[in-house]
């Protein structure tokens, strides 16, 4: 006698009807039921069974009518079937989130029955509603509920007659009118007509329309999405100013009504802008939470690394003067070791920061940044060898970690004090006490560079301890000193060297920004730059701060992120002026998109024989200085002036 479970599976997977295929089916080396259960799982099989059973038992889905009907009748039937699918409520929102593959299963089941029905359902239930969910905010979510209750029917209107995949060239406009607090949606000509939009031909009442957003003063803010009513849900007649129609009979899927639309000065409420990435105030001001976030940290890095390179150069001059005087003191020797450690990590930090900054700027400029005329490619190529000459960056970092590990070894073996001529390691004197510290908790302190400074000191102490313990473990396991140090490099010593150098850069720029000699009008902007660079540099180490116990709850990590965004917001109005301070003249920069007047001159380059040949390689560019729109992206690495006797050979 079959168990209840076996009976249930038999009902779910009944034997197939016997016939000519039975003999071939019997030849199989496996059970088709077992393979199906393995691939799909019982829950998914039951879900599909529910869908197919509902369709088969519902007269509305009778196979005697469908594709052979006149096109108008077929589209009417497809809409009624789509509505019935919603009534069955096969898949609620909770199921979608818990088992996303059921979405594909539902679309696939409907598609096997009729792909016109499947696409019609998918465009409304998922494309239209997900556009509202991902691009809109809570003020728009009521439309999602209306869509699932079939009170409205939606479509996704991006493609135009003259522009499909080239979304940035979309020509439909949305001008904001502050007097009425409305957007005016307009198609300037036939080529700007929305075209081939699924569900738009006969049944859609609302559309997510993509248009170029303009605020007063004719300033364009690029492509944005708007929720536009195109028909009256009661009678499906077009709304005033909307010309909407059907594309006609296609080669297939004629149950899906693809359509077109033109808009003639159609007014919609300001709130119909899907405003997750950008919004317009009632007065007509464009605001966005994302403005300048990608580039401003690199601008702060330019200032911090520039100050560090100058201060390190002065330290080197002090060392050189000692060499000229034939200074044989212990301090002179320790100064050489310390400068060597700083320079060995300084080149990797500067060249890698420049590398990332140039690439970020290239991507932020879109296609314009890919043009040779932008000269971002020149900057990227000229910086690239900085990552390998005078020693591969990863090899050089080992020199810095070796320096720090030797100090800890001397401390543990001989009780030597942590101190150095430039005082970059003096804080390690409180090594055990620092390791016992924890993040003080949320507060305004996070907006000042003193908080990340404290975190950095803990981080260096933690990584120093971890690196030393890993090194000793490797030695005890029988590894040679060379093998032990190489095995420690990847996850321990490399991070130690970078964190130590970042701490030094942050500390020096913090001291510089907070020096009493800074003129009062400049204090705020320099301190914001200092805090931004400190927090931004610290943010990649958040995992280590949690792993070591310095951070204990999620609020600490969120606080770092929030503080970075707050500082970017505070610095955005100063961005152009900050770039003015460090930017070379237009003649030197020689970029079509980085002129000081903010104008882009995307004209073809002159013939090769007419190009000036003395304009390249003469600018001294700052590391990571990425410009906001209208000023040049001036990014390169610092060439640290390390004397040959202090430069480690490649592979050391």
The pLDDT of residue 647? 30
C-alpha distances in Å from residue 362, one per residue of 167, 255, 365, 378, 627 = 19, 45, 5, 11, 11
Strand pairing partners for 260? 245
The pLDDT of residue 443? 54
Answer whether residue 114 shows pLDDT above 90: yes
Looking at the chain, how many residues does it have?
652
Answer whether residue 626 shows pLDDT above 50: no
Place of tokens 């140090």: 485
CB 447 within 8 A of CB 566: yes
pLDDT digits (tens, 9 = 90+) for 429-461: 998 999 999 998 655 444 577 889 999 999 999
Torsion from C-alpha of 447, 452, 453, 458, nearest 10 degrees = 150
CB 230 within 8 A of CB 200: yes
Distance CA 253, CA 535 (A): 55
The pLDDT of residue 651? 33
SS3 (DSSP) at 512? helix
- Please state the φ and ψ torsions of residue 460, each to the nearest 5 degrees: -65, -45
The pLDDT of residue 84? 96
Which percentage of the chain shows pLDDT scores above 70?
A: 88
Pick the closest to residue 510 from 486, 535, 527, 491 (CA basis): 527
The pLDDT of residue 628? 32
Instruction: Summarize the confidence of residues 72-93 as an average pLDDT.
Output: 92
Distance CA 48, CA 109 (A): 7
Quote the tokens at residue 451. Answer: 């908080």
The pLDDT of residue 69? 86
The pLDDT of residue 209? 96
CB 435 within 8 A of CB 454: no
In this prediction, residue 648 has a pLDDT band, given cuts at 50, 70 and 90, of very low
Quote the tokens at residue 437. Answer: 């510290």
The alpha carbon of residue 448 and the mean position of all alpha carbons in its chain are separated, in whole angstroms, by 25
In this prediction, residue 3 has a pLDDT band, given cuts at 50, 70 and 90, of low
In this prediction, residue 600 has a pLDDT band, given cuts at 50, 70 and 90, of low
Distance CA 315, CA 304 (A): 17
Answer whether residue 549 shows pLDDT above 60: yes
The pLDDT of residue 287? 85
SS3 (DSSP) at 292? coil
245 Cβ contact list (under 8 Å, min separation 6): 201, 259, 260, 261
User: DSSP E strands: which ranges in 240-362?
Assistant: 242-246, 258-263, 266-269, 279-280, 286-287
Number of helices (H), then strands (E), belonging to the chain: the values are 24, 11
Written in H, E and C, the secondary structure of 223-249 is: EEEEEEECECCCCCCECCCEEEEECCC
Instruction: Summarize the confidence of residues 203-221 as an average pLDDT.
Output: 92
Answer whether residue 236 shows pLDDT above 90: yes
- Residue 469: other Cβ atoms inside 10 A: 12
CB 535 within 8 A of CB 563: yes
Answer whether residue 636 shows pLDDT above 50: no
Answer whether residue 637 shows pLDDT above 80: no
CB 263 within 8 A of CB 185: yes
Instruction: Summarize the confidence of residues 609-626 as an average pLDDT.
Output: 32
- Residue 197: other Cβ atoms inside 10 A: 27
Characterise 276 by phi-psi region: left (phi > 0), alpha (psi -120 to 50), beta (else).
alpha
pTM of the model: 0.58
Instruction: Summarize the confidence of residues 599-603 as an average pLDDT.
Output: 58
Answer whether residue 24 shows pLDDT above 70: yes
pLDDT digits (tens, 9 = 90+) for 550-584: 999 888 888 898 899 889 989 988 999 999 999 99
What mean pLDDT is reported for the chain?
Answer: 86
Which percentage of the chain shows pLDDT scores above 90?
A: 63
């Amino acid at each position: 006698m079959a168990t209840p479970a076996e009976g249930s599976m038999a009902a779910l997977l009944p034997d197939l009807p016997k016939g000519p295929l039975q003999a071939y089916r019997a030849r199989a080396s496996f059970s088709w039921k077992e393979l199906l259960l393995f691939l799909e799982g019982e829950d998914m099989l039951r879900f599909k069974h529910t869908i197919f059973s509902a369709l088969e038992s519902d007269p509305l889905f009778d196979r005697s009518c469908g594709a052979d009907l006149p096109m108008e009748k077929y589209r009417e039937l497809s809409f009624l079937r789509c509505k019935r699918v919603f009534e069955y409520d096969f898949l609620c929102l909770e199921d979608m989130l818990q088992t996303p593959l059921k979405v594909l299963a539902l679309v696939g089941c409907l598609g096997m029955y009729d792909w016109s029905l499947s696409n019609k359902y998918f465009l409304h239930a998922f494309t239209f509603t997900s556009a509202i969910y991902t691009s809109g905010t809570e003020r728009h979510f009521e439309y999602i509920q209306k869509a699932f209750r079939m009170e409205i029917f939606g479509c996704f209107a991006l493609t135009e007659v003259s522009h499909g995949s080239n979304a940035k060239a979309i020509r439909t406009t949305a001008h904001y009118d502050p007097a009425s607090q409305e957007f005016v949606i307009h198609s300037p000509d036939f080529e700007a007509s929305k075209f081939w939009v699924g569900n738009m031909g006969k049944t859609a009442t609302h559309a997510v329309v993509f248009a170029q957003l303009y605020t007063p003063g004719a300033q364009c803010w690029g492509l944005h999405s708007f929720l536009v009513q195109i028909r009256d849900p009661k009678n499906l007649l077009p709304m005033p100013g909307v010309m909407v129609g059907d594309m006609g009979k296609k080669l297939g899927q004629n149950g899906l009504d693809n359509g077109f639309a033109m808009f003639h000065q159609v007014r919609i409420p300001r709130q119909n802008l899907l405003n997750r990435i950008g919004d317009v105030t009632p007065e007509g001001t464009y605001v966005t939470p994302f403005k300048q976030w990608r580039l401003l940290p690199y601008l702060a890095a330019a200032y911090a690394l520039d100050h560090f390179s100058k201060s390190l150069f002065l330290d080197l001059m002090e060392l050189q003067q000692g060499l000229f005087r034939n200074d044989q003191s212990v301090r002179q020797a320790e100064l050489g070791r310390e400068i060597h450690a700083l320079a060995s990590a300084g080149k990797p930090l500067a060249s890698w920061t420049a590398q990332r900054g140039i690439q970020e700027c290239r991507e932020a400029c879109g296609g314009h940044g890919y043009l040779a005329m932008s000269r971002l490619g020149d900057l990227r190529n000229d910086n690239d060898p900085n990552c390998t000459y005078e020693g591969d960056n990863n090899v050089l970092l080992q020199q810095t970690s070796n320096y720090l590990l030797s100090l800890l070894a001397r401390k543990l073996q001989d009780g030597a004090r942590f101190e150095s001529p430039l005082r970059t390691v003096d804080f390690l004197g409180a090594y055990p006490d620092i390791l016992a510290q924890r993040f003080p908790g949320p507060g305004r302190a996070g907006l000042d560079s003193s908080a990340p400074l404290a975190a950095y000191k803990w981080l260096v102490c933690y990584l120093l301890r971890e690196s030393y313990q890993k090194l000793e473990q490797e030695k005890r396991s029988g590894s040679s000193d060379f093998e032990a140090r190489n095995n420690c490099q990847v996850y321990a010593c490399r991070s130690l060297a970078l964190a130590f150098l970042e701490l030094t850069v942050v500390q020096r720029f913090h001291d510089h920004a907070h020096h009493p000699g800074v003129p009062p009008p400049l204090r705020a902007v320099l301190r914001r730059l200092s805090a931004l660079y400190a927090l931004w540099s610290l943010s990649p180490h958040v995992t280590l701060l949690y792993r070591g116990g310095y951070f204990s709850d999620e609020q600490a990590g969120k606080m770092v992120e929030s503080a970075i965004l707050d500082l970017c917001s505070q610095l955005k109005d100063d961005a152009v002026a900050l770039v003015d301070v460090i930017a070379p003249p237009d003649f030197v920069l020689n970029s079509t998109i980085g002129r000081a007047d903010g104008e882009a001159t995307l004209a073809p380059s002159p013939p090769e024989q007419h190009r000036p040949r003395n304009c390249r390689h003469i600018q001294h560019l700052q590391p990571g200085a990425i410009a906001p729109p209208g000023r040049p992206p001036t990014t390169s690495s610092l060439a640290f002036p390390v004397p040959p006797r202090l430069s480690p050979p490649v592979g050391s």
